[in-house]
């Protein structure tokens, strides 16, 4: 059974940093592109970042470029998101999502971890 478990969320002041983790199991983690998607309270889904299976290709949404860093450790079956210079508008539930074998679709999601940016 595929499982994705996020951790690392919490309350952080504006300008602060936070590192999210996603522990994967139930599939060959090293074979799949992984993504982060966020959802602000009461709002829609927003794609954050994507990292290919071997970390060769990394992409970010424009509003995250330069502040967020995605990475993975295939030996530990783990995905990470380092978030710096956090703003109030980064407040959201952050989900890690596995990309489907054919690409483009996110076929499995974690339960999410809440990040609150507030003074």
* Sole binder of another protein in the list 59, 67, 114, 116 (CB under 8 A): 59
* Sole binder of another protein in the list 60, 68, 80, 94 (CB under 8 A): 60
- Residues sharing a CB contact under 8 Å with residue 42, sequence separation 6 or more, in sequence order: none
38 membership: H or E segment, kind and range:
strand 34-39
Question: How crowded is residue 56: how many other Cβ atoms within 10 Å of its Cβ?
Answer: 7
Q: Which two tokens stand for residue 58?
A: 């990394």
Residue whose CB is less far from another protein, 44 or 56: 44
Residue whose CB is less far from another protein, 32 or 106: 106
Based on the shown chain and the rule CB under 8 A, indicate whether residue 113 belongs to the binding site for another protein: no
Based on the shown chain and the rule CB under 8 A, indicate whether residue 62 belongs to the binding site for another protein: yes
Residue whose CB is less far from another protein, 15 or 72: 72
Residue whose CB is less far from another protein, 15 or 57: 57
109 membership: H or E segment, kind and range:
strand 106-109
CA distance 88 to 32: 32
């Amino acid at each position: 059974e595929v499982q994705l478990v996020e951790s690392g969320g919490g309350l952080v002041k504006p300008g602060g940093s936070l590192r999210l983790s996603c522990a994967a199991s139930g599939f060959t983690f090293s074979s799949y592109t992984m993504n982060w998607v966020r959802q602000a309270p009461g709002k829609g889904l927003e794609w954050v970042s994507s990292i290919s299976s071997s970390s060769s290709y990394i992409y970010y949404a424009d509003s995250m470029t330069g502040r967020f860093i995605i990475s993975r450790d295939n030996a530990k079956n783990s995905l990470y998101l380092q978030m710096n210079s956090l703003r109030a508008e980064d407040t959201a539930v952050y989900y890690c999502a596995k990309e489907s074998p054919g690409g483009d679709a996110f076929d499995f999601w974690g339960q999410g971890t809440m990040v609150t940016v507030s003074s």
